[in-house]
Structure 1
Amino acid sequence: MVLRKAVLLGRGFKPNFFGKQAETRICIVSSMSGIRSFVSGSVHNSAKGAISRFANAISLELAPEKIYVSNIRPGGCDTGLYDENIVKSRIAKIRESFGFGSDPDDIRLMPPSSVGKAIVNILSSDGHITSVNIVARGQMPHEGS
């Protein structure tokens, strides 16, 4: 459902939609899960991967119209999702599969404001930042950290 909505929304980003702006910038927030898989994450990983690939493709399609699309792929954020014991247990199993400890209370998360700051950086940059991988320091499996 999320991918379908992203595609429909992205297809609507045509020059007339934004009026006579000199350029337009769009940030699509997907997930590090789209580029790094984990045990029992096949459906989640493939859905997030599809959103990342869509962001890349739509970026190429819209760039000639001066509509610049950026993909932000955050890792785990401290949004409260990881507070539930069932989630902690699953994360512990995933950590163990990567060779990390299985302590369910040792989940490294970043504050959601980190994602907000990345968006501000992208939107205020003089260049076209095509993608950003952002994870908490020490977040397993260290890809992008």
Structure 2
Amino acid sequence: MKVQGKTIVVTGANGGMGVAVVKQLLEEGAQVVGCDLKGDQLTGLGQEKLVIFEGDLLEESFVRHVFSEANERFGKIDGLVNAAGMAQQATPIEETTLDMWHNLLDINMTLLFLSCREAVNYMKKQQNGTIVNVASISAVRPRPGLQSYIASKGGAESFSRALAIELAHENIRVNTVHPGPCDTNMLEQFAAEGTDMEKAKEDIFKRSVPMGKLLTPENIASSIVFLLSEEANMVTGATLNVDGGRGI
């Protein structure tokens, strides 16, 4: 029970990766607060140990409400996992609109900033806490046509490192996970329009992974649970590549 008794907030909890994180946290003994625009994939998972909030995590008032209610119900906030994210359909730079750019930075960076800022308010009072931000291996191994997505994920990693050094003396750890190509619905959102996804999985995504297979959401979730646990109590400012070797 690696996170027994801990209270963990998870953003993007209703997505493929987020659901896997919530499940493993519950299995490892945590109380979980799952946040997303919808929560239908989480229904029935945790009974009294899972609280679901549906709303827009780019709204400051909603973010404040989530953390206030979580603290009121469980008495503390030990961890935050930012699994929320938005993909970019492969698009040449000259065809990338300003709206596309802003949307990617809002979801992949501004949302992360807002949730981290709120979490730190509680963690500082406790003099303890752990934050794990999910970025992407493409931040260090780019692919063509994903320039805006990659910029946002590179920013997420840099933000995490900056926060780690800022908060180390408060006993608050901040780390980043870089997933490789993961077999979720989000994967097809990276492909160019008209792509045969089954063929792309074999010819593009799997071949980009030296270990020869796509990651599963459970692979990513296990790494996140480790970083939240006391087993990683001296790990901060680190980036963990969970990518089957793609970042080598």
TM-score, normalised with respect to structure 2: 0.45
- Relative distance call for 1:87 and 1:46 in structure 2 (3 A) is farther
Q: Distance in 1 between matches of 2:158 and 2:124?
A: 27
Question: Does 2:112 correspond to 1:6?
Answer: yes
Identity in percent: 26
- Relative distance call for 1:104 and 1:37 in structure 2 (3 A) is closer
Secondary structure class of the residue paired with 2:247: coil
Secondary structure class of the residue paired with 1:86: coil
Whether the 8 Å contact between 1:28 and 1:72 is mirrored in structure 2 is: yes
TM-score, normalised with respect to structure 1: 0.73
Question: Does 2:210 correspond to 1:143?
Answer: no
Question: Does 2:138 correspond to 1:68?
Answer: no
Counterparts in 2 of 1:2-41, with a 5 A limit? Answer: 2=107, 3-14=109-120, 16-18=121-123, 20-21=125-126, 23-41=128-146
Secondary structure class of the residue paired with 1:40: coil
The one-letter amino acid paired with 1:143 is G
Unmatched 5+ residue regions in structure 2?
A: 1-105, 208-212
Q: Distance in 1 between matches of 2:161 and 2:221?
A: 20
Equivalent pairs, count: 130
- Relative distance call for 1:105 and 1:45 in structure 2 (3 A) is closer
The one-letter amino acid paired with 1:5 is L
Q: Paired residue for 2:97? A: none
Q: Distance in 1 between matches of 2:205 and 2:171?
A: 45
Q: Distance in 1 between matches of 2:139 and 2:196?
A: 19
Question: Does 2:227 correspond to 1:122?
Answer: yes
Secondary structure class of the residue paired with 2:173: strand
Measured on the aligned residues, the alpha-carbon RMSD in Å equals 2.9
Q: Paired residue for 2:241? A: 133
Deviations 1:105-131 (A, max 9, x none): 855311100011101211222421522
Q: Distance in 1 between matches of 2:217 and 2:114?
A: 26
**Which has the bigger relative contact order, CA under 8 A and spacing at least 6?**
1
Q: Paired residue for 1:103? A: 203
Unmatched 5+ residue regions in structure 1?
A: 93-101
Whether the 8 Å contact between 2:123 and 2:172 is mirrored in structure 1 is: no
Whether the 8 Å contact between 1:23 and 1:66 is mirrored in structure 2 is: yes
Alignment match of 1:42 (pick from 138, 147, 158): 147
